[in-house]
Each structure stands twice: as C-alpha cells, then as structure tokens.
Structure 1
C-alpha cells in the first residue's frame, strides 16, 4: 500500500536551535480570547530553524540562493539510507549502498532519537559526514543530501568542510529531517521551501511517498 511520510519537524518554541543562532520563537500577536477580532501569530526565527534547506549560498557566495535552486532538484526519486551506530559517516559506510547515479540521498542515523520529547535539547554528539563521504557522494552524482539533525558537518568541524565541498558544486542539503518512522528504501521526495529572494536557507515542508 502506498504511504506518504511527513518528515517535517513541527515548529514550536522548545525545538533546539544551533548554538549561537538567533533565538527562534512563535508568539501570539492577537487573540480572540483576549477580546480581539482575530487570532494572529508571529514568527521570529532563523531561516535554518527546524526542517530546512541550506542553500549553497549559505557558505558559497557564488552558490545558489534558496530562490535559485531548480525545483527539479527538490522533487523526484530519492533513497533513504540507514547508517546506525556511528558518529561519523565515511565513504566506507556508503560503499555497497547502490548510490551510483542516485541524485537525492537522505540519511537516517542514530540522530533520529534526538527528536523524541525526552531528548529534545541540542546534542553536540550528533552524527554527520566526513569529507571523504562528501567526495564519494559527489563522485556518484548526488545533487541533494538530507540528514536527520541540524548539520551535515560534525559539531567540532568549525571550518565546515563538508558544507564547503558540497556547496562549491551547488549540492543542496536538507537538515533537520524527522525520519523516525521511515524505513530505508526508495521514495519520491517532495521538498517545498519558502521562496525567499536571496535567502541562504528556508524552512521546508518535506514529504516522502513510497514507491511501488
């Protein structure tokens, strides 16, 4: 049976943000309960809050901004690959995963547990990629990469080498995916970011549809 997975994190004020990023919050601007005519909320947030797309422009001044990313990259066949039990995904983890020519690859890791309510705070020990994994993905034709936490680089990687390697080639990254309920396998990806002219990123609604 066909199934659609919503792999978008719900935005709320307890959702972790990257250390040093602006505090992101949703607040009430008007309330019927308070005697006003309408309910109206406001959002004050980084463009990298929750499930979001990093535009290559985030680290590459010559890279695509969010509104320049071709929609064809954000919609189409995708593979969810599960890499459990490691803090760093290397090229050795990717060999044998049949990624040759796969343009959209989403990675389910031990990070997924961090979205459980009892663990909902920022974790510095999240799983991310090594530089040789980034080169491996490029060599195999990857155009979009996704991860189930807030960065494709390890927390201690201050120079963000994985970002730089991929964004120099206009590879797009989806960060903050919720893949807890998604089995590894082949899917159709639908990723719809807010269209922000000149944006270095944007919150996105991300869906995966099973392939039969």
Structure 2
C-alpha cells in the first residue's frame, strides 16, 4: 500500500472559523433506543470550516457554485513546498527553491504547526504576484495551511481575484505539519453542493 498523509484538520465545535462565520454545531434528531434503531444528526456549519475548497461564487457574484466545478483540478500530481515561518505574504522567492518543473497542483506549508484550535488574525497568505507566477507555470490548483490565501484583514482579496481571473482552484486550512517537501498525488474532492460558495474536503496526499 502506498503511504497516505491525511492533511485535513478535525472538524468539531471548537474548530476555528473566520470571525463572524458559522461554527460547527451538531444536534441529534434520533438516537438509538428501544423504539429507534439508528442515530441521526443534524449539522450546522460554514462550508469554509476545516480543509475546504472555495468556489468562484465565494469571490465572484457571477461565479460558479462548488457543485458545478470540474473535479479534475482536485485530483492528481501535486508538490508540497515549504515556506515555514514566512509572514505576512508568501512571495515567489520563498518558493523558487522548489519551483522547477511544477506539477499542476502546489500546496504551501507556512506554519511550523498549523493552528487547529484557534483563529490566527496574522495568518500567512499568498502575495498576488506569487499566484500569477504559479498560474504562468501551469498550476491549476493552489493550497495553503492557513485559513485563507489572502490576509485575514484584506478587503479586496487580491489573491482571490487572481485565481478568479486565471481560473485556478484553491484549498485552504490544510494540515501539512508532517508532510516532507516533495511530490505526491493529491485527492481532495469537494461535495456536490449545487448552490454553495465552498465545500469541506477530506484532503489526503498519496505517495507516488
């Protein structure tokens, strides 16, 4: 069996979300008892919780919902590049050491330990010029181990606007703490949510 790296954080009531966004909550509609053979729950959550894929609808009022996206970007050869400790913006110079002959998908590790239990107002993000360079290199999906490819304080979301204009897909909130720099197969399929602006994913990397 080829080795798998689970790069998805756990999702539960304590999972951090963007301030003002909807946290995870779960209630039970049915519970196993003498008159009921099953447990059935209801979930309330932001689609941006945990590891997730943004849809164009998230940053473009005319953009496609996540359930309409072609899945091919979310599955296939991928490179993990380390830019550990870089704040606030990841520039091309931070990636250049591993940017030769890039595969179509690039995930960037910026944290020493990804904060799975608290919101980070100073999260690492991509400089928009970096996203342009990745697109120029033929990359179709970018990912990061922070909650956004733009700074948390950004109002114009310049890197999101680059992926809108260049047609890239994006994964956020990945856990790359234990993943060595190198090439893998990415598997991170969004749910077929036909009107949603994002979808949680169970993101994994598989040894080539």
Deviation at 1:198, TM superposition (A): 2.8
Deviation at 1:99, TM superposition (A): 4.7
User: Is 1:206 aligned with 2:207?
Assistant: no
1:100–1:141 Cα contact (<8 Å) kept: no
The change in CA–CA distance for 1:111 and 1:44 in structure 2 (over 3 A counts) is farther
User: Is 1:164 aligned with 2:165?
Assistant: no
SS in 1 for 2:42: strand
| Residue matched to 1:107 | 108
1:70 and 1:108 map into 2 onto residues whose CA distance is 25
Q: Deviations over 1:25-52 (max 9, x none)?
A: 1222222269754211111011111111
Question: What is the correspondence of 1:125-140 to structure 2 with a 5 Å cutoff?
Answer: 125-140=122-137
User: Is 1:76 aligned with 2:73?
Assistant: no
Over the aligned positions, Cα root-mean-square deviation in angstroms equals 1.9
1:129 and 1:207 map into 2 onto residues whose CA distance is 22
| Residue matched to 2:24 | 24
1:80–1:107 Cα contact (<8 Å) kept: yes
Deviation at 1:139, TM superposition (A): 1.3
1:10 and 1:34 map into 2 onto residues whose CA distance is 32
1:27 and 1:61 map into 2 onto residues whose CA distance is 32
Deviation at 1:158, TM superposition (A): 1.9
SS in 2 for 1:38: coil
Point out where structure 1 has 5 or more consecutive residues left out of the alignment.
Answer: none
2:183 and 2:44 map into 1 onto residues whose CA distance is 36
1:78–1:187 Cα contact (<8 Å) kept: yes
The change in CA–CA distance for 1:15 and 1:34 in structure 2 (over 3 A counts) is farther
The change in CA–CA distance for 1:113 and 1:150 in structure 2 (over 3 A counts) is closer
Alignment length (residue pairs) = 207
| Residue matched to 2:13 | 13
SS in 2 for 1:113: coil
1:96 and 1:69 map into 2 onto residues whose CA distance is 32
| Residue matched to 2:141 | 144
2:192 and 2:206 map into 1 onto residues whose CA distance is 23
The change in CA–CA distance for 1:34 and 1:163 in structure 2 (over 3 A counts) is farther
Deviation at 1:100, TM superposition (A): 4.3
Q: Deviations over 1:112-146 (max 9, x none)?
A: 3312xxxx111111111112112111111111011
Deviation at 1:97, TM superposition (A): 1.9
The change in CA–CA distance for 1:33 and 1:83 in structure 2 (over 3 A counts) is farther
Q: Deviations over 1:33-92 (max 9, x none)?
A: 697542111110111111110012211234332122212111110001111121120122
1:137 and 1:143 map into 2 onto residues whose CA distance is 8
